[in-house]
Structures are given as structure tokens and as C-alpha cells.
């Protein structure tokens, strides 16, 4: 499972770049725009090719999902606290794929079963957030979980194989994509490293 997380801000040409990344083989994009209004998000989504919208996960303004053909919803810690298990079950029954961010193993044990996958981290020192350091030792091994667990935090071409050795089911990348001069080229490099690492795990 390879997931790209968007930049926080909506920059000029953002939708065109998203379309290019999907054209290059990006499997899933998490749209994380914490400061964006519903109108901002709708404008951005409308400029993304309809054929790719089912591959988008919304981190906010979940009400925009159905009207735009989006079937993936992501829940932050605050949203998890505000959403009942019954509501999550109802969303799953409607065909939504649900994910969440978690930072403690006990959270995954207690709440992970309500989601199709969870992000866990920071696994390595963050690239995009300076001072956001790894919470894990070099010898960490992920306990078995009923939920797929995706490594988040500091993932790049050099350490994605290490994330798989730790037992993660996939990786989520942010800084490794957006802090380079060419996000599409950066994505292709990460994807190649991911394919090699995932192939060794199988």
C-alpha cells in the first residue's frame, strides 16, 4: 500500500499536478488541507479528473465526498473522538473506505478495527515537520493487528524497505514528494523503491 499525502496548502496548479501524479501511477492521494474551506476543497476536487476521484481520501469536509464520487474518508484524532462506532459502521455499509491517524499502539488495539487502515508514526524523523522525531527504536517490530497499518513520518526512498521489515503493511509519503523540485519525478523514485521493498516482503 503506497499512499501520497498532499501538501497542506492549495497552490496554483495544484489540481494539474495531482492529475500528473495520478497519470504517473499514484495509487491513492490523501487530500489534507487543514486550512481550506469547503469552497476551496470543492474547487480543487472539481479540477481533478473524475476518473481519479475514487482514489482520493478526504481529511476534511467529508460532506463533499458523495457528490464528487469520492469513497475514501480519513479521520484525524479529533474526528475520531467526535464520530461514533455506529456512524463508522454506517459509512462502511454505504461503501466508504475509512482510515485514521494513530500515534499509540494501544489506539490501534482499541479502535483500529473500525477502519480499513490506520497511519502510525512518526516512524522516522519527519521530513516536512522539523523536530517531529521518530517514536520508534531501530529494532521496532509492529505487533500483529486486525487492521492494516501504514508507516507515516520521514518515509523516503532510503528507508521504505526498513518500514516493511518493521512489519508495516504500507507507507505514506509527504515530504519526500513535495520538497523536491519535481514532485512527479520524486514520486516515481519512491514508487520504484516501494515496489522493490514490497516485492522483497512477499
Domain ranges for the chain, please list them. 2-201
Judged against a pLDDT cut of 90, whether residue 127 lies above it is answered with no
More confident residue, 124 or 94: 94
Q: What is the pTM of this model?
A: 0.92
What is the tens place of the pLDDT at every residue in 65-106? 999 999 999 999 999 999 999 999 999 999 999 999 998 889
Residue of 52, 12, 25, 7 lying closest to 185 (CA atoms): 25
User: What mean pLDDT do residues 124-133 have?
Assistant: 68
Judged against a pLDDT cut of 70, whether residue 200 lies above it is answered with no
- Cα separation, 151 vs 51, in Å, equals 27
**HEC string for the chain:** CEEEECCCCCCCCHHHHHHHHHHCCCCCEEECCCCCCHHHHHHHHHCCCHHHHHHEEECCCHHHCHHHCCCEEEECHHHHHHCCHHHHHHHHHCCCEEEEEECCHHHHHHHHHHCCEEEECCCCCCCCCCCCCCCCCCCCCCCCCCCEEEEECCCCCCCHHHHHHCCCCEEEECHHHHCCCCHHHHHHHHHHHHHHHHHHHC
Q: Give the angle subtended at the CA of 161 by the CAs of 159 and 167, to the nearest 5°.
A: 115
Judged against a pLDDT cut of 70, whether residue 201 lies above it is answered with no
pLDDT band at 132 (very low <50, low <70, confident <90, very high): low
pLDDT of the residue at 115: 96
CATH number of 2-201: 3.20.20.70
What is the tens place of the pLDDT at every residue in 140-185? 898 888 899 999 988 999 998 989 999 999 999 999 999 888 999 9
What is the tens place of the pLDDT at every residue in 11-56? 888 999 999 999 999 999 999 999 999 999 999 999 999 999 999 9
Amino acid at each position: 500500500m503506497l499512499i501520497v499525502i498532499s501538501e497542506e496548502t492549495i497552490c496554483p496548479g495544484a489540481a494539474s499536478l495531482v492529475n500528473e501524479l495520478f497519470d504517473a501511477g499514484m495509487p491513492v492521494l490523501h487530500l489534507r488541507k487543514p486550512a481550506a474551506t469547503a469552497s476551496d476543497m470543492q474547487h480543487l476536487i472539481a479540477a481533478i479528473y473524475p476518473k481519479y476521484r475514487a482514489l482520493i481520501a478526504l481529511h476534511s469536509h467529508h460532506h463533499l465526498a458523495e457528490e464528487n464520487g469520492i469513497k475514501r474518508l480519513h479521520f484525524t484524532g479529533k474526528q475520531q473522538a467526535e464520530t461514533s462506532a455506529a456512524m463508522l459502521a454506517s459509512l462502511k455499509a454505504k461503501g466508504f473506505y475509512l482510515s485514521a491517524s494513530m500515534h499509540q499502539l494501544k489506539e490501534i488495539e482499541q479502535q483500529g478495527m473500525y477502519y480499513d487502515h490506520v497511519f502510525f508514526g512518526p516512524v522516522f524523523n519527519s521530513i516536512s515537520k522539523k523536530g517531529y522525531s521518530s517514536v520508534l527504536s531501530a529494532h521496532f517490530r509492529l505487533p500483529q493487528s486486525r487492521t492494516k497499518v501504514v508507516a507515516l513520518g520521514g518515509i523516503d526512498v532510503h528507508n521504505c524497505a526498513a518500514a516493511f521489515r518493521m512489519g508495516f503493511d504500507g507507507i505514506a509519503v509527504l515530504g519526500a514528494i513535495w520538497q523536491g523540485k519535481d514532485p512527479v519525478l520524486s514520486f516515481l523514485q519512491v514508487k520504484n523503491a516501494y515496489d522493490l521493498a514490497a516485492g522483497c516482503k512477499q
